[in-house]
């Protein structure tokens, strides 16, 4: 699992300090705090109810872009859908299985750049397919049916 109180940067090994997130945004935002690498500028936000706890790994620009690209596809399968919370949970289980990682570690915020790339390739593969449930309640994807005519 990831270190929720990082002192060393997971990208460059630089010193990480905890403080106001106005250091990375122009004003305080969300929990108001973040962990910031003094060397490369990678950072991670913290939980609002537990502002000392990092949300994931420190991320640089390529990781932030990777996360956005993954979420754009991933979220399209559950956001605003019936039983959204269950679908989101089941999608993380499906993705963990596809990536051969434990489901507890299956969160885009926990992924390094290599895992983000892998996740994106997997998600791209199902982007235009239909999400379905099998008889055991597991998610699978099927080619979308084309409209007749
Ligand atoms: Zn760093």
Give, as one character, the DSSP assignment of residue 93.
Answer: H
CA atoms within 13 A on the CB side of 1: 7
How many residues does this entry show for the chain? 149
Q: Specify whether the CB–CB gap between 39 and 10 falls below 8 A.
A: no
How many A from CA of 97 to the centre of ligand 1?
30
How many A from CA of 132 to the centre of ligand 1?
41
Whether residue 143 is predicted with pLDDT greater than 80 in this model: the reply is yes
Closest CA to 127 of 102, 144, 113, 105: 144
Section 86-104 average pLDDT? 97
pLDDT reported for residue 148: 58
pLDDT reported for residue 144: 81
pLDDT reported for residue 36: 98
How many A from CA of 40 to the centre of ligand 1?
4
Q: Which of 15-19, 23-27, 101-105, 143-147 has the lowest mean pLDDT?
A: 143-147
User: What are the tens digits of pLDDT across the range 6-22?
Assistant: 999 999 999 999 999 99
How many A from CA of 52 to the centre of ligand 1?
19
How many A from CA of 84 to the centre of ligand 1?
35
How many A from CA of 59 to the centre of ligand 1?
9
Whether residue 149 is predicted with pLDDT greater than 60 in this model: the reply is no
Section 101-120 average pLDDT? 97
User: What are the tens digits of pLDDT across the range 67-94?
Assistant: 999 999 999 999 999 999 999 999 999 9
pLDDT reported for residue 79: 97
The CA distance from 122 to 139, in Å, is 14
Residue that has been written with the tokens 């999400």 in this structure: 131
């Amino acid at each position: 699992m990831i270190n929720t109180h990082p002192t060393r940067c997971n990208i460059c090994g630089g010193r990480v300090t905890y403080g106001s997130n106005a250091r990375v945004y122009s004003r305080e935002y969300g929990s108001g705090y973040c962990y910031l690498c003094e060397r490369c500028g990678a950072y991670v936000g913290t939980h609002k109810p537990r502002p000392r706890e990092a949300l994931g790994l420190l991320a640089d620009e390529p990781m932030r872009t990777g996360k956005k690209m993954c979420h754009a596809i991933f979220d399209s399968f559950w956001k605003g859908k019936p039983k959204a919370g269950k679908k989101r949970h089941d999608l993380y289980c499906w993705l963990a299985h596809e990536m051969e990682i434990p489901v507890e570690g299956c969160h885009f915020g926990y992924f390094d750049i290599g895992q983000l790339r892998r996740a994106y390739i997997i998600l791209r593969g199902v982007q235009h397919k239909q999400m379905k449930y099998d008889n055991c309640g597991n998610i699978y994807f099927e080619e979308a049916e084309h409209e007749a005519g």
